Amino acid sequence: EVQLVESGGGLVQPGGSLRLSCAASGFTFSGYYMDWVRQAPGKGLEWVGRSRNKANSYTTEYAASVNGRFTISRDDSKNSVYLQMNSLKTEDTAVYYCTRDHLYSDVYWPDYWGQGTLVTVSS
């Protein structure tokens, strides 16, 4: 059974940093792309970024709103993907989800989602 479990959320002051983790199980983690998606309270979904797999050199993509402040990394030996968030702003307050992305027709589609972890940026 595919499972994704996010952790590391909490309350942080503006300008602060936080590192989220997503622990995966039930599939061969190293072969998959992984995304981070967030949802501000009462709002819609916002794609944050993507980590490609080893075959694609672990390269990453980011939304403009977080580029330069957030960094996605992964450790295939621990079946985990991470989201390092620096210079946090109040508008980064959201539930953060990680997703597993499966390959179909040359494109990676987010097919499993974790339960999310809440990040609150406030003084």
72: nearest Cα among 105, 107, 102, 96: 96
Closest approach of other proteins to the CB of residue 55, in Å: 19
Given the complex with other proteins, which of 55 and 104 has the nearer CB atom? 104
Residue ranges that bind other proteins, judged by CB under 8 A = 35, 37, 44-47, 50, 61-64, 97, 104-105, 107-116
Whose Cβ is closer to other proteins: residue 41's or residue 123's? Answer: 41
Confirm if 45 and 94 have CB atoms less than 8 A apart: no
Secondary structure element (H or E) that encloses residue 94, with its range? strand 94-104
Query: What's the length of the chain?
Result: 123
Q: How far apart are CA 21 and CA 40, in angstroms?
A: 19
Closest separation in Å from C-beta 103 to other proteins: 11
Nearer to other proteins, 77 or 106 (CB): 106
* Tokens coding 112: 């499993």
CB of 101 to other proteins, least distance (A): 9
Separation CA 85–CA 1 (nearest Å): 29
* Residue 123 Cβ vs other proteins, minimum distance, rounded to whole Å: 27
